[in-house]
Structure 1
Amino acid sequence: MTNSTSATKAPAKLNPTLKMALEIGPLILFFVANARPALFHWIVAPVLPPGITPEKTAILTATAVLMAAVVAALAVSWIMTRHLPIMPVVTAIAVLVFGGLTFVFQDKSFIQIKLTIVDCLFGAALLGGLAFGKLLLPVALDSVMHLDEAGWRKLTIRWGLFFFALAGLNEILRLTLTWDNWVKFKTFGVLPLTLLFALAQTPLILKHEIKPEADTEHF
């Protein structure tokens, strides 16, 4: 006799290529909108304050395009999977909040510091949860990996410290780089650094991975 299974289904997973496109797409649009704001003028003109300088036009246009793009990426993710991973949701909320503040005060510091605050939140959540005996990394990564508890603890510590390091790096660069160079860092630096860090965790993951047991039939 076969065992009855739960009606609960695991959420569908995005195709890896589409997932990467949804992560990179808003950043690429952010970069292009900053470099060529005129391309997006017909979209953002209604929300741009009158009489602003060309520099602020680029900053606000890029910010508006980023805000719209992250919402669109979430919408596509929801349509495809009927599920929203926690990290993109938190990031999108932060983009909307700090992007809105950037518009209200016409100050690029708000959208720049968003990265610092989000990374600090992720780092604090992971390490704080671990301190209270909660392993939040599997939820944060929306992962299908199966690791033993020691593996998850080590990986949580590493990711928590990485997020704090990334926040510190962003603070240094936003205070020392020009706006255009900081945009390049945000677009072409943050994601590659994150992917390289994730790839560097492969030996740890392989060491602590729990191999699924072969299914057996019950009679």
Structure 2
Amino acid sequence: METDNRKPISPGVKAALEFGPLIAFFAVFTLLKNRTFVLGGTEYGGFIIATMIFVPVLALSTLALWRLSGKLSVMQVLTLVLVVVFGGLTVWLNDERFFKMKVTLIYSIFAGLLALGLLLNRNWLELVMGEALPMQHEGWVKLTQRMIALFAGLAIANEVIWRNFSDTAWVNFKTFGLPVIMFVFLMANAGLFSRYGINKDDDA
């Protein structure tokens, strides 16, 4: 029987692979946002060029993460698929709206899946994360309800920002705003984790 001899991936490497593509997109956009380039007879703005770079960089970083850790989350796989599809449409049609709408679609899908799970009395979040984060079922229900509200809110916020503000404002929201909001959300739920958490030692 084969055994997996891979060592646990270090937090630094994991963070670099997960956030590196986004930082690369931000850096390229910031450098090229006021410039245009002609490729194959077609003129592209800095946003499209940044997207051209972001898609393969994300694909490579996701592949590296999978090779090093041996697994990917559902969100990582879905994100990669949507980035390839909508990023490809953005470049092919030279229309940045597709790439911006991708964020709305991702959060809408996850809000919908979590809500469907609750309706079917199957908590997807608990099934996926229950082993890593032992918690009473009631805690998972409350966390899922809050995450549905969070994802729905982020989808709405993304629509408002990309439709009404500049490219720079949207890129800043995607690069810095979304991670900060997620971090604040997790910190705000620390009490829930503490209240409903299950100590594995208690089951021994």
Q: TM-score, normalised by structure 1?
A: 0.82
1:73 lines up with 2:64 in the alignment: no
User: Post-superposition shift, 1:51?
Assistant: 3.7
Give the equivalent residue in structure 1 for 2:113.
125
1:112 lines up with 2:100 in the alignment: yes
Greater mean alpha carbon deviation, residues 70-79 or residues 156-165: 70-79
1:15 lines up with 2:10 in the alignment: yes
Give the equivalent residue in structure 2 for 1:198.
186
SS at match of 1:65: helix
Query: How high is the sequence identity, in percent, across the aligned residues?
Result: 30
Picking from 17, 21, 25, the partner of 1:30 is 25
> Equivalents in 1 of 2:102, 2:49: separation in Å?
17
Aligned residues, how many?
199
Query: In structure 2, do the counterparts of structure 1 residues 109 and 215 end up closer, same or farther at CA, with 3 Å as the change threshold?
Result: closer
> Equivalents in 2 of 1:142, 1:22: separation in Å?
24
Give the equivalent residue in structure 2 for 1:174.
162
Structure whose alpha-carbon radius of gyration is higher = 1
Query: In structure 2, do the counterparts of structure 1 residues 214 and 83 end up closer, same or farther at CA, with 3 Å as the change threshold?
Result: same
Flag as ranges the 4+ runs of structure 1 deviating above 4 A: 139-143
- Partner AA of 2:21 in structure 1: P
Write out per-residue CA displacement over residues 41-90 of structure 1, whole angstroms, 9 at most, x where no aligned residue: xxx98xx44240xxx33122111111112112211111111111111111
> Equivalents in 2 of 1:77, 1:119: separation in Å?
22
Give the equivalent residue in structure 2 for 1:4.
none
> Equivalents in 1 of 2:153, 2:201: separation in Å?
38
8 Å contact kept, 1:67–1:99: yes
SS at match of 1:83: coil
8 Å contact kept, 2:55–2:84: yes
Picking from 87, 90, 97, the partner of 1:102 is 90
> Considering only aligned residues, what root-mean-square deviation do their CA atoms show, in Å?
2.6
Write out per-residue CA displacement over residues 82-127 of structure 1, whole angstroms, 9 at most, x where no aligned residue: 1111111111111101001101211110000000000000110011
Q: TM-score, normalised by structure 2?
A: 0.88
Q: Using CA pairs under 8 Å that are at least 6 residues apart, name the structure with larger relative contact order, 1 or 2.
A: 1
Write out per-residue CA displacement over residues 2-35 of structure 1, whole angstroms, 9 at most, x where no aligned residue: xxxxx999x9754333332222211111111112
- Partner AA of 2:27 in structure 1: V
1:162 lines up with 2:144 in the alignment: no
